[in-house]
Amino acid sequence: MPLIDRDIEHLGPALKHLRERAGFTQRLVARRLGVNASTYCKWESRHNAPPVKRLILLLSTLGADFADLQQAIDHLRRAGVAGNLQKRIIGLERRVALLEEAVPTAPGGRLDQSD
């Protein structure tokens, strides 16, 4: 499946994953690609994306291909969705706890309506 716009936000982390899997530093990859280390760092940190020709060379340098890149992006997207859901659940649990503290209850868990 080709890269699409919604994948772009995961491109940098996916490149980082592939680089670390290959056991390379950012500086080494940048040197092999003939780019400044700060340029490569920006690719991994989502500030911008590499041109397509550089991306092809980058994947080759990392011993990866577009299928590996897409697989890493898909994994990051699923992990992000799961992480967002977990954060929402935790937020809801906190709100419920605050409400339970704020609302007085009578023995047996019923609302205390003695006021």
At 94-107, the pLDDT tens digits run 878 787 777 766 56
Domain residue ranges of the chain, discontinuous segments joined by +:
7-102
Cα 78 → chain centroid: 9
Check: CB of residue 42 under 8 Å from CB of residue 11. Answer: no
DSSP 75: H
At 16-53, the pLDDT tens digits run 999 999 999 999 999 999 999 999 999 998 888 899 89
CATH architecture for the domain at 7-102:
Orthogonal Bundle (1.10)
> Does pTM top 0.85 for this prediction?
no
